[in-house]
Amino acid sequence: MASRITIYEIARAAGVGIGTVSRVLNNHPSVTPETRQKVRDVMRRMRYQPHTYAQRLARHHSETICAVIPFFTNYFFAEILRGVQEGIGRLGYDLVLFGVNDVSQAESSIARALQRGRVDGMLFFSMRLPEKVVPRLREARLPIVLVDSYHPDFDSVSVANANGAYDATEHLLSLGHCRIGMITASQLSISAGERLDGYKRALEKNGIRYSKELVKAGANTKEHGFNREAGCEAMSDFVRMGSEMPSAFFVSSDIQAIGALAALSEHSLRVPDDVSIVGFDDIELAEHLRLTTMRQPMYEMGETAVERLRARMEDPDMDVLHRTFSPQLIVRDTCGPFIVKGR
C-alpha cells in the first residue's frame, strides 16, 4: 500500500511553508494567485488526497507551535531549542516559549495551549507530564511530543540517560578507579534520576557497594541543581572528606562539572592527576575545557521532536513512537588512571 502524501511533502515540492499549503486548502485570501496555482499544481501532480485532520487544521490554523520548557537559559535547552527552531522554521511556523519553574506552572501553560485555535501543537520538555492534564490532552487531541521526558500515551524523544551514566562510570572503572563519587541533581528531574540509576548499576555490575555518602548535590536548586554553583558546592563537600574523598567522579551535567573543576582548582587538586571527571551533555564549553563527557545529540533531538510533531499534526491516529538516542563517550583530558597517592 502506498504511503499517504502529506502536506509537508506538498510544501517541500512547491517550495513554500506548510502554513501556505494549509491556507490554500482553506481558500484563504492572503495567498497570491500565483502561489495558490503552484501549490494546487503540485497537489494535482502528486495526487494529494487531504487527510480529514489536515483539512481541519486548515480551517483552524494558528501556524504556531508552543514549547513548555523549564530553565530555557540552560545550555542544554539552548542547544535543543536551536534544533527546534530550525525544524519549525522549515515548516513556516512560529515558536512560542512557555517558561515554567514547577508542575503547577506547567499545568497552567498546558491549559492555555489547549484553548481552541491558540496553537497547532506542543513540545513538552524535561518534566513529568502531570497526570491530571492527560485526560484533557487526550480529549482535545492536541498534537504533543515529549522531549527529554516520557509518557506511554504520547510521542517522545529522549536520550538513554541510564545507559549513558553506566558507560561514564564504566569508563572510570576501566581506568582503575574503585571509589567513584557522583555529583547528581534534584530527583524531581527525570534525567537526574535515570543517571543516578545508571551509576548505581555500573557499580553493582562490578561488585562495588553503592554508598549514599559518595553521591552529593549542591545546595543551589536553581534549574533542578543543573548549574555551576551546585557543582562547585558538591565538589567542595567531597574535598572536605579528606583522605576518604573519591579519586574519580561522574557528574550529571557538564555545567555542574565546570563548577566541580573550579572547586578542585581552588583546593589545589589537579585534574586528571589527582581527580578524574566525566560529565554529561557535551555542551560547547566542554570541548574548550577538554572535559571528558557523554555526548547527547541535543540539536538533533530538537529537530527530531519537530518532525515527529509535524507527522502527528497530519495524522493524529498514527501509532505512538518513542525515539531514544544513545549518548556517546567523548574522551578528552579530565580522566586519568588511578594512582595510589599518600594523601
Residue 60 scores a pLDDT above 60: no
Confidence of residue 2 (pLDDT cuts 50, 70, 90): very low
pLDDT given at position 28: 72
Residue 219 scores a pLDDT above 80: yes
Provide the residue ranges of all domains of the chain, joining segments of one domain with +. Answer: 7-59, 64-159+299-326, 161-296
Residue 163 scores a pLDDT above 80: yes
**Is 201 exposed, middle or buried, given 0-12, 13-18 or 19+ CB atoms closer than 10 A?**
middle
Q: What is the mean pLDDT of residues 42-61?
A: 66
Work out whether the CA dihedral 10, 12, 17, 20 comes out positive or negative: negative
pLDDT digit string, tens, across residues 228-244: 999 999 999 999 999 99
Q: Which neighbouring-strand residues pair with 295?
A: 281, 328
Can 7-59 and 161-296 be said to share one CATH topology? Answer: no
pLDDT given at position 343: 40
Mapped to the 3 state alphabet, what secondary structure does the chain carry? CCCCCCHHHHHHHHCCCHHHHHHHHCCCCCCCHHHHHHHHHHHHHCCCCCCHHHHHHHHCCCCEEEEEEECCCCHHHHHHHHHHHHHHHHHCCEEEEEEECCHHHHHHHHHHHCCCCCCCEEEEECCCCCHHHHHHHHHHCCCEEEECCCCCCCEEEEECHHHHHHHHHHHHHHCCCCCEEEECCCCCCHHHHHHHHHHHHHHHHCCCCCCHHHEECCCCCHHHHCCHHHHHHHHHHHHCCHHHCCCEEEECCHHHHHHHHHHHHHCCCCCCCCCEEEEEECCHHHHHCCCCEEECCHHHHHHHHHHHHHHHHHCCCCCCCEEEECCEEECCCCCCCCCCCCC
Q: Which neighbouring-strand residues pair with 329?
A: 294
pLDDT given at position 59: 52
CA distance 119 to 201: 42
- Output the nine-digit C-alpha cell for 274: 589527582
Q: What is the mean pLDDT of residues 257-276?
A: 97
pLDDT given at position 4: 67
Residues 6+ apart with CB under 8 A from 212: none
Intra-chain end-to-end CA distance of the chain, in Å = 70
pLDDT given at position 224: 81
- Compare 137 and 2 and report the one with higher pLDDT: 137
CA distance 205 to 183: 20
pLDDT given at position 223: 81
- Compare 228 and 139 and report the one with higher pLDDT: 228
Q: What is the mean pLDDT of residues 7-21?
A: 86
- The pair phi, psi for residue 126, each rounded to 5°, is 55, 20
CATH number of 64-159+299-326: 3.40.50.2300
The alpha carbon of 188 is separated from its chain's Cα centroid by a whole number of angstroms, namely: 15
Assign domain 7-59 to a CATH class. Answer: mainly alpha
Least Cα distance to 167 among 214, 192, 190, 201 occurs for 201
pLDDT given at position 51: 57
Confidence of residue 196 (pLDDT cuts 50, 70, 90): very high
Confidence of residue 211 (pLDDT cuts 50, 70, 90): very high
Strand order in the sheet with 328-330: 215-216, 180-183, 248-251, 276-281, 293-295, 328-330
- Output the nine-digit C-alpha cell for 122: 506542543
Residues 6+ apart with CB under 8 A from 3: none
Please tell me the total number of residues recorded for the chain in this structure: 343
- Percentage of residues in the chain with pLDDT exceeding 90? 57
- Output the nine-digit C-alpha cell for 319: 501509532
pLDDT given at position 208: 97
Q: Which CATH architecture has domain 161-296?
A: 3-Layer(aba) Sandwich (3.40)
**Amino acid at residue number 132:** K
Residue 7 scores a pLDDT above 60: yes
pLDDT given at position 116: 60
Q: Which of 41-55, 172-186, 274-288 has the lowest mean pLDDT?
A: 41-55
Confidence of residue 1 (pLDDT cuts 50, 70, 90): very low
pLDDT digit string, tens, across residues 76-93: 888 899 999 888 888 778
- Percentage of residues in the chain with pLDDT exceeding 70? 92
Confidence of residue 295 (pLDDT cuts 50, 70, 90): very high
Q: What is the pTM of this model?
A: 0.79
pLDDT given at position 30: 78
pLDDT given at position 212: 96
pLDDT digit string, tens, across residues 315-327: 888 999 999 999 9
